[in-house]
């Protein structure tokens, strides 16, 4: 059989593409930037809650001003598991005001990725310990907090970043449980936003016999509040209030679209390279934004008449902010009203030019879920925010 005359050339070009992309990446200039990252929700050494941020930093060649690259395993504050059931914590709870001021001066950016923390059930489920009191402890059951929540010193640190005109990025769950109410209120007053005490999440199945990831407390609380009934079998969205009130919307029964939809404000689409809309499959919170904030993107809960009545009865809006930013030119503040950075992304492909654009284009055609959310929404958003700040404030 005759071989195609261009087959060898085609294979050679195909093989050479990764080497070309790596060469082009190596030719790009590094960008010195000191970033203070706080992540208190670290169950293992994968560092999933802040790994997506570090993918962006490495791919776009941000380095520390000491000329060292960022290390996903050590360059953050919060919870540090050793992979064997032991851990240590490093935060600002006992820091003096002068120490906080020094941190604010030394760093250009503060990014608080998650303050939810680590609970005994999920911790001992991952690292079994025969000496614990309850051998059946599970991540799906309520359990005691081991470590987590934002403290007042961490709000005061953000205030110092703000006073110096630096970049602040925060996201769910920074001001929700287990952060003390007094700390939450201080954050709200400082940054002119409010948490409405509701969180929510999409589940691909609400059938407790099929979906083993549904928290047991969810069914327990709902059935206690609704005469023992749990009629749900399809996909849907759950809402949980701080007083443990549960509201559930099911596909077809209450929802036209079972997944919360993030709709980008047309005013900001080009600036942040964001899609017109994007499905969001994970945890989010309901917030209110004052007139001093711009709403970059909004959640839409697409309900039918039955779903609308359920939400109205519980004072839950069908539209609420997904991403907000400060309008002030004196400082840069962003809040992501969702667990945006909790994505298991590999760091193996960071050192290739154009890899982000290729993946972003690919998932635009097919694919959804948390991986697609990284390429289409989180990466372009965070990349644009940091790049814009770097150009205006650091590079000048």
Give the number of C-alpha atoms closer than 13 A to the C-alpha of residue 210, restricted to the C-beta side. Answer: 9
pTM above 0.95, yes or no: no
Distance between CA 262 and CA 110 in Å, rounded? 25
Q: Where are the domains of the chain?
A: 29-394
Greatest Cα pair distance, the chain, in angstroms, is 79
Q: What is the pLDDT along the chain (396 residues), one digit of tens a residue?
A: 455 666 666 566 666 667 677 778 888 999 999 999 999 999 988 888 899 999 999 999 999 999 999 999 999 999 999 988 899 999 999 999 999 999 999 999 999 999 999 998 888 888 876 555 555 566 677 788 999 999 999 999 999 999 999 999 999 999 999 999 999 999 999 999 999 999 999 999 999 999 988 998 999 999 999 999 999 999 999 999 999 999 999 999 999 999 999 999 999 999 999 999 999 999 999 999 999 999 999 999 999 999 999 999 999 999 999 999 999 989 999 999 999 999 989 888 888 888 888 887 776 655 578 889 999 999 999 999 999 999 987 655
Q: Are 154 and 323 in contact (CB under 8 A)?
A: no
Residue 201's nearest CA partner among 250, 159, 257, 259 is: 259
Supply angle C-alpha 203, 209, 213, rounded to 5. 40
Across 160-265, the runs of DSSP E, i.e. the strands, are 167-171, 193-203, 236-241, 246-250, 261-264
What backbone phi and psi angles, to 5 degrees, belong to 257? -125, 125
Burial of 224 per CB tally in 10 Å (0-12, 13-18, 19+): exposed
**What token pair was written down for 229?**
């009934």
Multiple choice CATH, 29-394, 3.30.1490.20, 3.40.50.880, 3.40.50.720, 3.40.50.300:
3.40.50.880
């Amino acid at each position: 059989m005759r071989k195609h005359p261009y087959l060898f050339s085609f294979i050679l070009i195909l093989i050479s593409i990764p080497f070309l992309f790596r060469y082009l990446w190596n030719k790009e200039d590094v960008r010195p930037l000191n970033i203070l990252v706080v992540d208190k929700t670290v169950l293992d050494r994968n560092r999933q809650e802040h790994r997506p941020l570090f993918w962006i930093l490495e791919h776009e060649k941000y380095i520390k001003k000491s000329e060292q690259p960022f290390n996903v395993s050590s360059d953050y504050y919060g919870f540090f598991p050793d992979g064997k059931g032991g851990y240590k914590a490093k935060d600002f709870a006992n820091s003096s005001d002068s120490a906080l001021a020094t941190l604010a001066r030394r760093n250009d950016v503060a990014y608080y990725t998650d303050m939810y923390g680590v609970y005994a059930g999920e911790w001992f489920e991952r690292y079994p310990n025969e000496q614990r009191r309850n051998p059946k402890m599970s991540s799906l059951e309520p359990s005691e907090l081991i470590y987590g929540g934002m403290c007042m010193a961490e709000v005061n640190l953000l205030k110092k970043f703000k006073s110096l005109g630096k970049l602040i990025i925060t996201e769910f769950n920074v001001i929700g449980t287990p952060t003390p109410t007094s700390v939450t209120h201080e954050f709200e007053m400082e940054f002119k936003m409010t948490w409405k005490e509701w969180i929510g999440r999409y589940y691909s199945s609400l059938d407790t016999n099929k979906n083993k990831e549904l928290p047991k407390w969810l069914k327990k609380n709902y059935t206690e509040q609704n005469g023992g009934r749990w009629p749900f079998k399809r996909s849907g969205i759950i809402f949980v209030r701080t007083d443990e009130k549960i509201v559930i919307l099911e596909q077809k029964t209450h929802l036209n679209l079972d997944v919360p939809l993030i709709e980008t404000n047309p005013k900001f689409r080009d600036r942040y390279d964001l899609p017109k809309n994007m499905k969001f499959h994970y945890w989010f919170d309901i917030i209110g934004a004052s007139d001093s904030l711009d709403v970059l993107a909004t959640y839409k809960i697409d309900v039918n008449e039955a779903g609308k009545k359920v939400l109205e009865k519980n004072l839950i809006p069908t539209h609420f902010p997904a991403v907000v930013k400060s309008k002030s030119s004196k400082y840069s503040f962003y809040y992501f009203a969702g667990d945006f950075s909790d994505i298991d992304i590999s760091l193996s492909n960071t050192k290739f030019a154009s890899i982000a654009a290729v993946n972003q284009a690919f998932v635009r055609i097919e694919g959804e879920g948390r991986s697609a959310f990284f390429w289409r929404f989180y990466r372009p958003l965070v990349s644009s925010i940091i790049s814009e700040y770097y150009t205006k404030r650091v590079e000048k």
